[in-house]
């Protein structure tokens, strides 16, 4: 087997119910280590909720609430970065903390990269384009499944280039994670399901692809097994034990998530054209990809039935020709994962007609 890429993981994590209380001491440690204020990026869902009052910001710090009703775009990253730079007035923060689901965790990562690297977000969409280390970052997921807490990317939608692509870089990786499963208790059930399944999808795509290594395969198998326990087991998927298991599965699955396959490109098409959130878009994608992932499609169908989640049909009816073209282009543009799944000749399998028939079946 080929030598793996030199791989970086998150160096520190804290895990356990109630761990959020330790955020203050983690941030205080940073205040002692570096000058500059602390910046916090918090999901707007928590604005005026008890969690917002527990964010350990002091005078001189800044809390940014991130609207997560849409996926992060390069424009929003640029806007936050310019506000943060104006606030910092030439200084660097002692740390940047992201508190939220994948969208907020990715937003914090992207903005942090722009604090030390000049220019616009889209200049860094790709692989190894970030040149300077970002400020120290702490990630606090409040939703499990995306793997954003431990990935080396931050997925950003770029409407102009019609693609979803992150800043794939070791500098994007969080320096510290605080994993408190209690924070996910209030997530609505269907959102918990859709987002949780993102872990299953990443790992299925990874293990069915051609870019493989023994470590990623082992992580993928573990996260898939945990997903089966959570979504097909006897206990409720949001039982206390499963909240923790889901948070750990997301973390483990996130480490395996670099090489996706067909599900994520098709999902990206939905997000770009219909602005559909990532987790549910993945579910729609796998729901029509049974011929490529037969076993997993069957498992997924059973998980939906067991958790009483349904996907209303007909979402791509009545679309304009321009939207249909956007669905095709927004999927097929993701060449790296499609080659991973289907080989260099993937366009012979995923013809325009074939891709549009997948969307028509949703």
Q: Least distance in Å: CB of 196 to Fe ion? A: 11
Choice between 169 and 259, CB closer to Fe ion: 259
Residue number with CB closer to Fe ion (198 or 244): 198
CB 197 within 8 A of CB 263: no
For residue 278, the minimal CB distance to Fe ion (Å) is 6
Q: How far apart are CA 307 and CA 331, in angstroms?
A: 28
Contact indicator for 60, 91 with CB cutoff of 8 Å: no
Least distance in Å: CB of 128 to Fe ion? Answer: 21
As a whole number of Å, the CA-based R_g of the chain is: 20
Q: Of the two residues 169 and 271, which places its CB atom closer to Fe ion in the complex? A: 271
CB-based closest residue to Fe ion: 198
Q: How far is the CB of 274 from Fe ion (least distance, A)?
A: 17
Q: Closest distance between Fe ion and the C-beta of residue 223, in Å? A: 12
Smallest distance from the beta carbon of 89 to Fe ion, in angstroms? 36
The CB-of-71 to Fe ion minimum distance in angstroms stands at 11
| Distances from the Cα of 287 to the Cα of 24, 35, 186, 201, angstroms | 43, 50, 27, 11
DSSP summary character for residue 106:
H
Task: Name the nearest CA neighbour of 4 among 153, 261, 218, 250.
Answer: 218
Task: Return the closest-CA partner of residue 296 out of 355, 227, 195.
Answer: 227
The pair of structure tokens assigned to 308 is: 């009483």
Footprint of Fe ion on 95-124 (CB under 5 A)? none
The pair of three-digit structure tokens given for residue 257, joined into one six-digit string: 């998530």
Closest to Fe ion by CB, 84 or 201: 201
Residue 128 region by backbone torsions, left for phi larger than 0, else alpha for psi between -120 and 50, else beta: left
Closer to Fe ion by CB, 198 or 296: give it.
Answer: 198
Least CB distance to Fe ion at residue 48 (A): 29
SS3 of residue 350 by DSSP:
coil
CB of 117 or CB of 287, closer to Fe ion: 287
**Which of positions 172-211 make contact with Fe ion (CB under 5 A)?**
198
149 vs 198 by CB, closer to Fe ion: 198
Rounded Cα gap, residues 351 and 341, in angstroms = 15
Phi and psi, residue 169, nearest 5°: -165, 150
| Residues 59-88 within binding reach of Fe ion (CB under 5 A) | none
In 164-277, which residue ranges form alpha helices assigned H by DSSP? Answer: 189-207, 214-232, 240-255, 263-274
Number of residues that bind Fe ion (CB under 5 A): 1
Rank residues 336 and 352 by Cβ distance to Fe ion and give the closer one: 336
Of 21-40, binders to Fe ion (CB under 5 A) are none
Tokens matching residue 43? 């999901």
Residues in contact with Fe ion by the rule CB under 5 A: 198
């Amino acid at each position: 087997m080929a030598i793996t890429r030199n791989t970086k993981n998150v160096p520190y994590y804290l895990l356990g119910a109630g761990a959020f209380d330790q955020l203050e001491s983690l941030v205080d440690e940073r205040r002692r280590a570096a000058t500059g204020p602390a910046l916090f990026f918090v999901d707007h869902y928590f604005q005026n909720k008890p969690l917002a009052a527990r964010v350990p910001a002091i005078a001189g710090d800044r809390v940014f609430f991130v609207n997560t009703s849409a996926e992060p775009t390069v424009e929003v990253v640029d806007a936050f970065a310019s506000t943060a730079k104006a606030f910092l007035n030439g200084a660097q923060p002692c740390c940047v903390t992201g508190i939220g689901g994948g969208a907020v965790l990715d937003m914090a990562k992207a903005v942090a990269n722009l604090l030390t690297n000049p220019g616009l977000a889209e200049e860094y969409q790709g692989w190894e384009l970030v040149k300077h280390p970002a400020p120290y970052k702490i990630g606090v997921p409040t939703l499990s499944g995306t793997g954003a807490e431990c990935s080396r990317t931050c997925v950003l939608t770029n409407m102009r280039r019609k693609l979803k692509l992150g800043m794939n870089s070791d500098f994007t990786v969080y320096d510290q994670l605080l994993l408190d499963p209690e924070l996910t208790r209030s997530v609505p059930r269907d959102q918990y399901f859709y987002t949780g399944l993102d872990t299953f999808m990443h790992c299925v795509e990874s293990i069915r692809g051609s870019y493989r290594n023994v470590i990623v395969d082992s992580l993928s198998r573990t996260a898939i097994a945990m997903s089966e326990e959570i979504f097909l087991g006897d206990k409720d998927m949001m039982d206390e034990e499963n909240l923790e298991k889901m948070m750990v599965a997301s973390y483990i699955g996130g480490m395996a998530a670099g090489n996706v396959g067909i599900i994520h490109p098709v999902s990206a098409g939905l997000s770009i054209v219909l602005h559909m959130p990532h987790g549910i878009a993945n579910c729609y994608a796998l729901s029509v990809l049974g011929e490529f992932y037969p076993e997993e499609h069957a498992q997924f169908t059973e998980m939906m039935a067991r958790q009483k989640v349904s996907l209303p049909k007909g979402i791509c009816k009545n679309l304009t020709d321009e939207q249909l073209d956007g669905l095709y282009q927004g999927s097929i543009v993701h060449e790296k994962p499609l080659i991973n799944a289907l080989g260099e000749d993937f366009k012979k399998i995923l013809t325009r007609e074939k891709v549009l028939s997948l969307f028509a079946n949703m």
